[in-house]
Protein backbone atom coordinates (compact mmCIF):
# COMPACT_ATOMS: atom_id res chain seq x y z
CA UNK A 1 0.00 0.00 0.00
CA UNK A 2 1.63 3.24 -1.15
CA UNK A 3 1.91 6.16 1.25
CA UNK A 4 0.54 9.42 -0.17
CA UNK A 5 2.40 12.69 0.38
CA UNK A 6 0.70 15.97 -0.50
CA UNK A 7 3.69 18.29 -0.95
CA UNK A 8 3.70 22.04 -1.58
CA UNK A 9 4.99 22.70 -5.14
CA UNK A 10 7.16 25.71 -4.23
CA UNK A 11 7.94 25.11 -0.55
CA UNK A 12 8.09 21.33 -0.07
CA UNK A 13 7.69 20.32 3.56
CA UNK A 14 11.08 19.02 4.81
CA UNK A 15 9.44 16.38 7.00
CA UNK A 16 7.52 14.88 4.07
CA UNK A 17 10.63 14.89 1.86
CA UNK A 18 12.65 13.20 4.63
CA UNK A 19 9.97 10.51 5.01
CA UNK A 20 10.04 9.76 1.28
CA UNK A 21 13.83 9.49 1.33
CA UNK A 22 13.58 7.04 4.25
CA UNK A 23 11.29 4.91 2.07
CA UNK A 24 13.80 5.08 -0.81
CA UNK A 25 16.71 4.09 1.45
CA UNK A 26 14.66 1.15 2.74
CA UNK A 27 14.38 -0.19 -0.82
CA UNK A 28 11.12 1.52 -1.77
CA UNK A 29 9.82 2.54 -5.19
CA UNK A 30 8.15 5.94 -5.53
CA UNK A 31 6.26 8.07 -8.03
CA UNK A 32 7.38 11.70 -8.01
CA UNK A 33 6.86 14.86 -10.09
CA UNK A 34 9.44 16.38 -12.43
CA UNK A 35 9.52 19.33 -14.84
CA UNK A 36 8.27 17.09 -17.66
CA UNK A 37 5.94 14.48 -16.12
CA UNK A 38 5.69 12.01 -13.25
CA UNK A 39 8.52 9.49 -12.92
CA UNK A 40 9.14 6.24 -11.10
CA UNK A 41 12.18 6.39 -8.84
CA UNK A 42 14.31 4.13 -6.66
CA UNK A 43 17.74 4.23 -5.09
CA UNK A 44 20.64 3.66 -7.49
CA UNK A 45 21.76 0.32 -6.06
CA UNK A 46 18.25 -1.07 -5.58
CA UNK A 47 18.21 -4.20 -7.77
CA UNK A 48 14.59 -4.98 -6.89
CA UNK A 49 13.63 -1.38 -7.74
CA UNK A 50 14.96 -1.83 -11.28
CA UNK A 51 12.98 -5.07 -11.67
CA UNK A 52 9.82 -3.42 -10.34
CA UNK A 53 10.11 -0.53 -12.81
CA UNK A 54 10.65 -3.00 -15.66
CA UNK A 55 7.59 -4.95 -14.52
CA UNK A 56 5.30 -1.89 -14.20
CA UNK A 57 6.33 -0.52 -17.60
CA UNK A 58 6.95 -3.85 -19.41
CA UNK A 59 10.49 -2.78 -20.37
CA UNK A 60 13.14 -4.89 -22.07
CA UNK A 61 16.88 -4.83 -21.39
CA UNK A 62 17.52 -2.25 -24.14
CA UNK A 63 15.64 0.45 -22.23
CA UNK A 64 17.76 3.38 -21.13
CA UNK A 65 17.19 4.08 -17.46
CA UNK A 66 17.83 7.63 -16.33
CA UNK A 67 19.91 8.87 -13.42
CA UNK A 68 18.16 12.01 -12.21
CA UNK A 69 20.87 14.20 -10.69
CA UNK A 70 20.77 17.21 -8.40
CA UNK A 71 23.41 19.22 -10.25
CA UNK A 72 26.13 19.11 -12.88
CA UNK A 73 28.84 18.09 -10.42
CA UNK A 74 26.86 15.00 -9.44
CA UNK A 75 26.03 14.19 -13.06
CA UNK A 76 29.73 14.29 -13.93
CA UNK A 77 30.48 11.40 -11.54
CA UNK A 78 28.38 8.99 -13.59
CA UNK A 79 29.05 9.84 -17.26
CA UNK A 80 32.02 10.72 -19.47
CA UNK A 81 31.70 14.16 -21.08
CA UNK A 82 34.14 15.89 -23.42
CA UNK A 83 34.50 19.67 -23.60
CA UNK A 84 32.11 20.41 -26.47
CA UNK A 85 29.41 18.13 -25.08
CA UNK A 86 30.00 19.61 -21.63
CA UNK A 87 29.19 23.10 -22.90
CA UNK A 88 26.03 21.97 -24.73
CA UNK A 89 24.65 20.08 -21.73
CA UNK A 90 25.63 22.75 -19.21
CA UNK A 91 23.68 25.35 -21.21
CA UNK A 92 20.57 23.16 -21.25
CA UNK A 93 20.45 22.22 -17.56
CA UNK A 94 18.49 22.19 -15.40
CA UNK A 95 15.68 21.46 -17.83
CA UNK A 96 13.44 18.92 -19.55
CA UNK A 97 16.21 16.97 -21.26
CA UNK A 98 17.66 13.49 -20.87
CA UNK A 99 21.18 12.99 -22.21
CA UNK A 100 22.53 9.57 -23.21
CA UNK A 101 26.25 9.35 -22.51
CA UNK A 102 28.99 6.74 -21.91
CA UNK A 103 28.75 5.61 -18.29
CA UNK A 104 31.55 5.62 -15.72
CA UNK A 105 32.29 2.68 -13.42
CA UNK A 106 30.06 4.33 -10.79
CA UNK A 107 26.97 3.13 -12.69
CA UNK A 108 25.78 -0.41 -11.87
CA UNK A 109 26.14 -2.70 -14.90
CA UNK A 110 22.45 -3.65 -14.82
CA UNK A 111 21.54 -0.05 -15.69
CA UNK A 112 23.67 0.14 -18.81
CA UNK A 113 22.53 -0.34 -22.38
CA UNK A 114 23.85 -3.90 -23.02
CA UNK A 115 25.80 -3.01 -26.19
CA UNK A 116 26.62 0.68 -25.90
CA UNK A 117 27.46 0.83 -22.14
CA UNK A 118 25.56 4.11 -21.96
CA UNK A 119 23.08 5.55 -19.49
CA UNK A 120 20.62 8.45 -19.47
CA UNK A 121 21.22 11.42 -17.15
CA UNK A 122 19.25 14.56 -16.42
CA UNK A 123 18.92 17.49 -14.01
CA UNK A 124 15.29 18.48 -13.42
CA UNK A 125 14.07 22.06 -13.07
CA UNK A 126 11.45 21.17 -10.46
CA UNK A 127 11.45 22.33 -6.83
CA UNK A 128 10.06 19.10 -5.32
CA UNK A 129 12.35 16.83 -7.34
CA UNK A 130 15.33 18.99 -6.35
CA UNK A 131 14.36 18.84 -2.66
CA UNK A 132 14.17 15.05 -2.91
CA UNK A 133 17.60 14.83 -4.57
CA UNK A 134 19.16 17.18 -2.02
CA UNK A 135 17.89 15.05 0.88
CA UNK A 136 18.88 11.76 -0.79
CA UNK A 137 22.34 13.12 -1.72
CA UNK A 138 22.68 10.79 -4.72
CA UNK A 139 20.94 10.38 -8.08
CA UNK A 140 17.53 8.76 -8.37
CA UNK A 141 17.24 5.82 -10.72
CA UNK A 142 14.21 6.85 -12.76
CA UNK A 143 11.91 6.09 -15.65
CA UNK A 144 8.93 8.03 -17.02
CA UNK A 145 5.65 6.87 -15.47
CA UNK A 146 4.15 5.72 -18.74
CA UNK A 147 2.06 2.58 -18.40
CA UNK A 148 2.08 -0.14 -21.07
CA UNK A 149 -0.25 0.65 -24.00
CA UNK A 150 -0.86 4.20 -22.66
CA UNK A 151 -0.27 7.10 -25.05
CA UNK A 152 0.43 9.65 -22.32
CA UNK A 153 1.89 9.49 -18.79
CA UNK A 154 -0.41 9.79 -15.76
CA UNK A 155 -0.66 13.42 -14.61
CA UNK A 156 -2.49 13.33 -11.27
CA UNK A 157 -0.95 12.09 -8.02
CA UNK A 158 -4.25 10.77 -6.66
CA UNK A 159 -4.84 8.78 -9.85
CA UNK A 160 -1.37 7.24 -9.61
CA UNK A 161 -2.12 6.29 -5.99
CA UNK A 162 -5.44 4.71 -6.98
CA UNK A 163 -4.06 2.73 -9.90
CA UNK A 164 -0.60 1.75 -8.66
CA UNK A 165 -0.74 1.72 -4.86
CA UNK A 166 -0.26 -2.08 -4.83
CA UNK A 167 3.08 -1.81 -6.67
CA UNK A 168 4.47 1.46 -5.23
CA UNK A 169 5.65 2.43 -1.74
CA UNK A 170 5.04 6.19 -1.97
CA UNK A 171 3.44 8.81 -4.21
CA UNK A 172 4.43 12.49 -4.03
CA UNK A 173 1.69 14.82 -5.23
CA UNK A 174 2.55 18.50 -5.73
CA UNK A 175 -0.21 19.33 -8.21
CA UNK A 176 -0.78 18.36 -11.80
CA UNK A 177 2.29 17.36 -13.76
CA UNK A 178 2.86 17.70 -17.48
CA UNK A 179 2.16 14.97 -20.01
CA UNK A 180 5.22 15.43 -22.19
CA UNK A 181 8.33 13.38 -21.35
CA UNK A 182 11.80 14.86 -21.67
CA UNK A 183 13.52 15.45 -24.96
CA UNK A 184 16.19 12.73 -25.26
CA UNK A 185 19.55 13.67 -26.81
CA UNK A 186 22.13 10.96 -27.52
CA UNK A 187 25.66 12.31 -27.13
CA UNK A 188 27.35 8.90 -26.93
CA UNK A 189 29.20 9.53 -30.23
CA UNK A 190 29.88 13.22 -29.37
CA UNK A 191 27.42 14.47 -32.03
CA UNK A 192 23.89 15.32 -30.85
CA UNK A 193 21.29 12.83 -32.07
CA UNK A 194 17.69 13.60 -31.10
CA UNK A 195 16.21 10.26 -29.98
CA UNK A 196 12.88 11.64 -28.75
CA UNK A 197 11.30 15.06 -29.17
CA UNK A 198 9.65 16.03 -25.91
CA UNK A 199 9.31 18.92 -23.47
CA UNK A 200 12.77 20.40 -24.09
CA UNK A 201 13.44 22.64 -27.10
CA UNK A 202 15.44 20.68 -29.71
CA UNK A 203 16.54 23.81 -31.61
CA UNK A 204 19.58 24.32 -29.36
CA UNK A 205 20.97 20.98 -30.55
CA UNK A 206 20.29 21.56 -34.25
Taking only the tens place, the pLDDT of each residue in 139-194 is 999 999 999 988 888 889 999 999 999 999 999 999 988 889 999 999 999 899 99
What is the tens place of the pLDDT at every residue in 81-127?
999 999 999 999 999 999 999 999 999 998 988 888 999 999 999 99
Q: Which pLDDT value is given to residue 195?
A: 95
* Edge-to-edge strand ranges of the sheet holding 118-122: 3-6, 170-173, 30-32, 39-43, 140-144, 66-68, 118-122, 97-102, 183-186, 193-196
**What domains lie within the chain, and their CATH numbers?**
3-205 (3.90.870.10)
Q: What is the model's pLDDT at position 177?
A: 86
Residue in 135, 172, 196 with CA at minimum distance from that of residue 39: 172
Give the CA angle between residues 143, 72, 67 to the nearest 5°.
Answer: 15
Position 206 pLDDT exceeds 80: no
Cα angle value 83/124/3 (rounded, 5°): 145
Q: Residue 73: pLDDT above 90? A: yes
What is the model's pTM?
Answer: 0.96
pLDDT tens column, 17-69: 999 999 999 999 999 999 999 999 999 999 999 999 999 999 987 888 899 99
Q: What local confidence, expressed as pLDDT, does residue 149 receive?
A: 87
Residue pair 128/32 in contact (Cβ under 8 Å)? The answer is yes
Kindly report, residue by residue over 181-191, the tens digit of the pLDDT: 999 999 999 89
Amino acid sequence: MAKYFDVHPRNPQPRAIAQVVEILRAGGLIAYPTDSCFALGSQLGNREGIDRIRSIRHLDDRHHFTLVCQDFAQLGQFVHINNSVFRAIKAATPGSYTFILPATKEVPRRLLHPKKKTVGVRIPDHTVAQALLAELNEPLLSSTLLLPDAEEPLTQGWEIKDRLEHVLDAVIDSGECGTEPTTVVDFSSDEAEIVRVGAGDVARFG
